[in-house]
């Protein structure tokens, strides 16, 4: 699981072979400096940049690009090096932005030797900086860690290197060498004599062309003129990397999620810049008594507002273009999604068959941002679930139960027959109507647990299962569990928490939330935090350990790239639809065929 770092946060690294990927939204210089325990750089030879891309254990890109890749073998860096800094700088070339505040927030991802992301960091809050120390890889007690820094320098790369210990001449020399390397080479005039004009040869008709005198035929379209932008290719479902169509669709949806996050971040950054520039220009006008009042002052203010409007309109045009592309992609991808990824209104559920293998992920709902609320990105979460799901009943308790039932049905229908079982705790029986698709279809192996005694018996059984499976794992015999232990994944739906619970069962529930996911026990909790206020801070770890979902649209989820507040919307079957009952009947029939001894 990738850890999203904030400024100053650190995270242990799994090994010494690393890759740092940079996504900056604009071409940048990626560099690395090697420092001692205090971060001091010994000299220009301890800085890797595109004109000198290699140091012991370090390699940086040799060109400008918005997407960069830095590789590091920390076991190969000199023994005197205790800190490795990843640097980003804007190139001093015509047309390039001069400060990071005018660009999308740079995003860095640190991956191990196996390519699995370990930590990521989005450098936010930048303004006039032209160079930044983005990340620090540092050695502590023989182990390496990564720290998110995001320290910026308005004076560019030279000021950054001076702050790391280089003298002014040395720092300026390194910065000048980088500037020379990114500066485009001047065009060299040709000294060859002009070619001698020769008469053109007579035209030769191509093979297969009609003879002279034949009726004219349509000619092929002319090639686009040099410098024109080719049309955007039509989106295709599954246009992402992956071994299977399911994996490609999963990766494509996550790519759409990231693209939308960064597109909106770039637009908001541009609007903030336009407003900041307008404020600065108006302050300048007011600061000068000669331009404070009068026709000239009014004209200057009108010009400043016109520039601000132009910048916002330009940013909006780019946003609309990008959103149109994402909308077109979503329209192609959504109908191609398999049942675990599809909404309940999708036709694929009407042709549902119990799968032979569990999917990579399931869809928990939709996400959207206010700039284009109709563009919705599926919220796909990998299986097995690493956290429990808390459906907050404070907004709408009845709808919260419906959401929990739909989530449990999706999880059950996404697994092969016999590989997942759903249990329900409904102490007062208040969820009987919502649970009808489960109870009427026979998808539950046992009736919902009611009353304090039923709650205690079910939680005791699941707690014992967690203990036994953990013991088997610690003994390195994961498949040798007692005959009475169900090997299938267990989904526990709890309604009306904490009603029907006492101190013992509350502690058991916390234990299941903490330890259950690692051994195949997953929790879906319907609860309003206010109802459990009498327990005070005792339940705070429970709420924090679970992923909060809401029965009504609510903007409480943040993305790991730029931290937008995304509006979450749950997935429910269309009104009047019997799709849940149809699907669960197939699941129950497949389970009876798979295990006729258990009904």
Q: In the chain, what are the domain boundaries?
A: 3-182, 245-336, 361-594
The whole-angstrom separation of Cα 488 and Cα 590 is 14
The whole-angstrom separation of Cα 301 and Cα 208 is 68
Tell me the pLDDT band of 233, cut-offs 50, 70 and 90: low
The whole-angstrom separation of Cα 237 and Cα 344 is 19
Query: First-to-last CA distance in the chain?
Result: 37
Q: Tell me if residue 30 falls in helix, strand or coil.
A: strand
The whole-angstrom separation of Cα 404 and Cα 391 is 7
The whole-angstrom separation of Cα 31 and Cα 25 is 17
- Greater model confidence, 194 or 502: 502
The answer on pLDDT for 373 being more than 50 is yes
pLDDT score recorded for residue 158: 94
> For residue 383, how far is the Cα from the chain centroid?
16
Percent of residues, the chain, with pLDDT higher than 90: 61
The answer on pLDDT for 563 being more than 90 is no
Q: For domain 3-182, is the CATH number 2.60.60.30?
A: yes
The answer on pLDDT for 32 being more than 50 is yes
Residue 402's CB is within 10 A of a number of other CB atoms, namely 21
Tell me the pLDDT band of 133, cut-offs 50, 70 and 90: very high
DSSP secondary structure letter of residue 502? -
Using CA of residue 165, residue 171, residue 175, residue 180, what is the dihedral sign? negative
Residue range 315-322: average pLDDT?
88
pLDDT score recorded for residue 594: 75
Three-class SS of 131-184: EEEEEEEEEECCEEEEEEEEEEECCHHHHHHHHCCCCHHHHHHHHHHHHHHHCC
Strand partners, 58: 55, 72
The whole-angstrom separation of Cα 481 and Cα 48 is 55
The answer on pLDDT for 399 being more than 60 is yes
Q: Is the separation of the CB atoms in 106 and 23 below 8 Å?
A: yes
* Phi, psi of 139, rounded to the nearest 5 degrees: -95, 130
Helix (H) or strand (E) holding 295: helix 295-333
Tell me the pLDDT band of 314, cut-offs 50, 70 and 90: confident
Three-class SS of 506-563: HHHHHHHHHHCHHHCEEEEEEECHHHHHHHHHHHHHHHHHCEEECCCCEEEEECCCCC
Q: Is the separation of the CB atoms in 354 and 586 below 8 Å?
A: yes
Percent of residues, the chain, with pLDDT higher than 70: 90
The whole-angstrom separation of Cα 559 and Cα 565 is 7
- Greater model confidence, 192 or 40: 40
Kindly report the CA angle at 334 between 330 and 336, in degrees rounded to 5?
A: 125
Nearest to 539 by CA among 500, 497, 495: 497
Nearest to 581 by CA among 373, 376, 386, 442: 442
Predicted TM-score (pTM) of this structure: 0.64
Tell me the pLDDT band of 443, cut-offs 50, 70 and 90: very high
The CATH number, out of the four listed (3.40.50.300, 3.40.50.720, 2.70.98.40, 3.30.70.20), of the domain defined by the range 361-594: 3.40.50.300
> For residue 536, how far is the Cα from the chain centroid?
34
DSSP secondary structure letter of residue 267? H
- Greater model confidence, 347 or 215: 347
Residue range 390-418: average pLDDT?
96
List, for residues 570-592, the tens digit of each pLDDT value.
Answer: 999 999 999 999 999 999 999 98
The whole-angstrom separation of Cα 142 and Cα 9 is 19
Tell me the pLDDT band of 11, cut-offs 50, 70 and 90: confident
168-182 and 156-163 helices, crossing angle to 10°: 140
DSSP secondary structure letter of residue 294? S
Using CA of residue 443, residue 456, residue 510, residue 403, what is the dihedral sign? positive
Using CA of residue 162, residue 168, residue 170, residue 174, what is the dihedral sign? positive
- Greater model confidence, 441 or 14: 441
Average pLDDT, the chain: 87
Residue range 271-276: average pLDDT?
88
Strand partners, 361: 382
- Greater model confidence, 422 or 243: 422
Of 279-288, 470-479, 481-490, 589-598, the least confident: 589-598
The answer on pLDDT for 319 being more than 60 is yes
The whole-angstrom separation of Cα 85 and Cα 306 is 42
Tell me the pLDDT band of 184, cut-offs 50, 70 and 90: low
Three-class SS of 399-453: HHHHHHHHHHHHHHHCCCCCCEEEEEECCCCCCCCCCHHHHHHCCCCCCCECHHH
Using CA of residue 195, residue 198, residue 203, residue 206, what is the dihedral sign? negative
Tell me the pLDDT band of 480, cut-offs 50, 70 and 90: confident
Burial 12-37 (b: 16+ CB within 10 A, else e): ebeebbbbbbbbbbbbbbbbbbbbee
Nearest to 322 by CA among 256, 406, 405: 256
pLDDT score recorded for residue 232: 56
The answer on pLDDT for 348 being more than 80 is yes
Residue 593's CB is within 10 A of a number of other CB atoms, namely 11
Q: Is the separation of the CB atoms in 14 and 3 below 8 Å?
A: no
Of 16-20, 233-237, 449-453, the least confident: 233-237
The whole-angstrom separation of Cα 404 and Cα 571 is 10
DSSP secondary structure letter of residue 372? S
Q: Which two tokens stand for residue 287?
A: 């600061």
The answer on pLDDT for 205 being more than 50 is no
Tell me the pLDDT band of 219, cut-offs 50, 70 and 90: very low
Tell me the pLDDT band of 377, cut-offs 50, 70 and 90: very high
The reply to whether 361-594 shares the fold of 3-182 is no
Nearest to 47 by CA among 181, 178, 180: 178
DSSP secondary structure letter of residue 188? P
């Amino acid at each position: 699981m990738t850890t999203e770092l904030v400024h100053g946060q650190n995270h242990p690294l799994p090994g010494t072979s690393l890759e740092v990927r940079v996504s900056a939204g604009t071409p940048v210089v990626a560099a690395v400096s090697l420092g001692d325990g205090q971060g001091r750089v010994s000299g220009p030879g301890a800085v890797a940049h595109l004109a000198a891309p290699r140091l012991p254990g370090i390699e940086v890109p040799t060109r400008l690009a918005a997407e960069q890749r830095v590789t590091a073998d920390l076991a190969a860096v000199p023994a005197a090096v205790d800190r490795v800094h990843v640097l980003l700088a804007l190139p001093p070339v015509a047309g390039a932005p001069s400060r990071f505040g005018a660009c999308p927030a740079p995003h860095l991802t640190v991956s191990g030797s196996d390519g699995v992301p370990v930590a990521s960091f989005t450098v936010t809050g930048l303004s006039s900086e032209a160079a930044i120390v983005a990340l620090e890889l540092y050695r502590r007690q023989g182990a390496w860690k990564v720290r998110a820094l995001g320290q910026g320098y308005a004076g560019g790369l030279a000021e950054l290197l001076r702050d790391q210990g280089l003298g002014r001449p040395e720092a300026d020399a390194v910065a000048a060498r980088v500037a020379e390397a990114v500066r485009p080479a001047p065009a060299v005039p040709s000294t060859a004599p002009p070619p001698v004009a020769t008469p053109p040869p007579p035209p030769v008709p191509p093979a297969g062309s009609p003879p002279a005198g034949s009726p004219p035929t349509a000619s092929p379209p002319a090639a686009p003129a040099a410098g024109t932008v080719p049309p955007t290719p039509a989106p295709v479902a599954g246009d992402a990397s992956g071994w299977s169509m399911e994996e490609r669709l999963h990766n494509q949806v996550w790519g759409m999620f990231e693209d939308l996050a960064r597109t909106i971040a770039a637009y908001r950054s541009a609007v903030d810049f336009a407003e900041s520039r307008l404020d600065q220009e108006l302050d300048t006008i007011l600061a000068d008594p000669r331009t404070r009042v009068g026709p000239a002052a009014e004209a200057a203010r009108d010009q400043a507002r016109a520039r601000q409007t132009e910048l916002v309109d330009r940013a909006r045009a780019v946003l609309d273009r990008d959103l149109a592309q994402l909308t077109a992609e979503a329209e192609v991808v959504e109908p191609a999604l398999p049942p675990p990824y599809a909404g309940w209104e999708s036709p694929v559920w009407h042709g549902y068959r119990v799968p032979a293998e569990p999917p990579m992920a399931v869809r928990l709902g939709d996400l959207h941002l206010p700039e284009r609320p109709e563009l919705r990105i599926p919220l796909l979460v990998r299986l097995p679930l690493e956290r429990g799901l808390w459906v907050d009943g404070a907004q709408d308790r009845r709808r919260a139960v419906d959401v929990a039932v739909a989530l449990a049905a999706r999880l059950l229908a996404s697994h092969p027959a016999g590989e997942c079982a759903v249990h329900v705790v409904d102490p007062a029986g208040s969820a009987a109507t919502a649970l009808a698709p489960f109870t009427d279809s026979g998808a539950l192996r046992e009736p919902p647990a009611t009353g304090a005694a039923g709650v205690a018996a079910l939680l005791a059984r699941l707690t014992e299962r967690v203990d036994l499976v953990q013991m088997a794992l610690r003994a390195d015999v994961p498949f040798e569990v007692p005959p009475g232990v169900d090997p299938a994944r267990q989904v526990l739906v709890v309604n009306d928490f904490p009603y029907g619970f006492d101190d013992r069962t509350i502690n058991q529930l916390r234990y299941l939330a903490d330890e259950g996911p690692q051994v195949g026990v997953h929790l879906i909790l319907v609860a309003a935090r206010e109802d459990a206020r009498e327990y005070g801070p005792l339940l705070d770890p429970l709420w924090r350990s679970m992923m909060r979902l809401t029965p009504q649209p609510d903007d409480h989820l943040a993305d790991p790239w730029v931290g937008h507040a995304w509006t979450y919307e749950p997935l429910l079957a269309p009104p009047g639809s019997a799709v849940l009952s149809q699907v669960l009947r197939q699941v129950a029939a497949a389970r009876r065929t798979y295990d006729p001894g258990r009904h």
